[in-house]
């Protein structure tokens, strides 16, 4: 996985900012810096910059770089689509 930060689409960032403003409880899926896949259910605390990189902070204290987010709730992040999650669908 690339370590160079790639800004996310403004629409996706705006959705994350709205979740943070409401302190929403969400399911978030993301990759770690060593490409481990994680799923967390947590309250979104806020967004912040660390240098050139932007992060989503969860109330758990975890900080997720925005370009490593794969899905929030049922909404795929830019670059992913519903086909990516076929094995994760609960019927």
**pLDDT, tens digit, 9 for 90 and up, residues 14-72:** 999 999 999 999 999 999 999 999 999 999 999 999 999 999 999 999 999 999 999 99
CA–CA dist 30, 64 (Å, integer): 8
Q: What is the pLDDT of residue 30?
A: 96
Helix (H, G, I), strand (E, B) or coil at 15: helix
Q: What is the pLDDT of residue 88?
A: 59
Q: What is the pLDDT of residue 1?
A: 47
CA–CA dist 91, 75 (Å, integer): 17
Which domains are delineated in the chain? 17-81 (2.30.30)
- Based on DSSP, count helices (H) and strands (E) in the chain, helices before strands: 1, 6
Q: What is the pLDDT of residue 71?
A: 95
């Amino acid at each position: 996985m690339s370590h160079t930060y790639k800004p996310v689409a403004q629409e996706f960032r705006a959705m994350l900012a709205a979740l943070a403003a409401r302190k929403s409880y969400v399911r978030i899926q993301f990759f770690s810096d060593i490409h481990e896949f994680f799923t967390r259910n947590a309250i979104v605390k806020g967004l912040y910059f660390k240098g050139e990189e932007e992060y989503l902070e969860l109330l758990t204290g975890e900080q997720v770089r925005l370009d490593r987010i794969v899905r929030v709730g049922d909404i795929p992040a830019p670059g992913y689509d519903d086909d990516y999650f076929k094995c994760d669908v609960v019927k």
